[in-house]
Amino acid sequence: MSTDKNKNGLLPETEYRAWDKEPVALRSEAHKAMIHFNTTGDKQVLKELFQQPLDDVSIAPPMHCNYGGDRIRFGHRVFINANCTFQPAGGVEIGDDVYIGSDVKFYTTIHPTEPEERIKGKASVRPIRIGAKVCIGGGVVILPGVEIGEGTTVGAGSVVTRSIPARCVAVGNPCWVIRKL
């Protein structure tokens, strides 16, 4: 896990243009793969989309994801329950031995609040990093730039707006540490 965070505890931000030709093509490919996986449960399509073996990764359909390739990196022995959403334009890294509950959302894109900037297609992205041995409860929303430290548990329904340290229990909206392990 990296320590290259800004003063708010968020990982670095980079520019993103959703309507450029390459991102549009990548999203189209990912959407086709998600339709196939969600209707058949065929994990081979995910191996091809994410370009990694996924032999010890369990993903329950339906799954929603708008990018493949190296934008999501799965560790070993990862379990992802049904109806999770990945918006990984900025990258999502999931460590080993991670459990992710149903309906968890990973959002890496930051859209401008000024409508004139937004309609120009300008945006930025920040990666999300999930450490090893993390447990994320159902319905959690993880926002851009967040890093969740090793061995942490995030309670169901939490909205994670900033990074959470290792070995603790964190809950709420916004998510905050209620106990260190």
Token pair listed for 170: 């964190």
CATH code: domain 14-180 is 2.160.10.10
| 111 is an active site residue | yes
Q: What is the pLDDT of residue 121?
A: 79
pLDDT band at 156 (very low <50, low <70, confident <90, very high): very high
Paired sense of beta strands 14-17 and 84-87, if any:
unpaired
Q: What is the pLDDT of residue 8?
A: 65
Distance separating alpha carbons of residues 56 and 114, to the nearest angstrom: 43
Phi and psi at residue 23, in whole multiples of 5°?
A: -60, -35
Mean pLDDT rounded to a whole number for the chain: 94
Dihedral angle, C-alpha 86, 88, 91, 95, nearest 10 °: 10
SS3 assignment, position 177: strand
Identity (one letter) of the amino acid at 60?
Answer: A
> At CB < 8 A and 24+ separation, what contacts does 111-118 make?
none
Indicate whether 2 pLDDT > 60. no
Distance separating alpha carbons of residues 146 and 106, to the nearest angstrom: 10
Q: What is the mean pLDDT of residues 47-58?
A: 96
Residues 72, 50: contact at Cβ < 8 Å? yes
Q: What is the mean pLDDT of residues 149-166?
A: 98
Q: Which helix (H) or strand (E) element contains residue 74?
A: strand 72-74
Domain ranges (residues) in the chain: 14-180
Paired sense of beta strands 122-125 and 109-110, if any:
antiparallel
pTM comes to 0.92
Distance separating alpha carbons of residues 4 and 25, to the nearest angstrom: 31
Q: Given 31, 36, 76, 111, which residue is catalytic?
A: 111
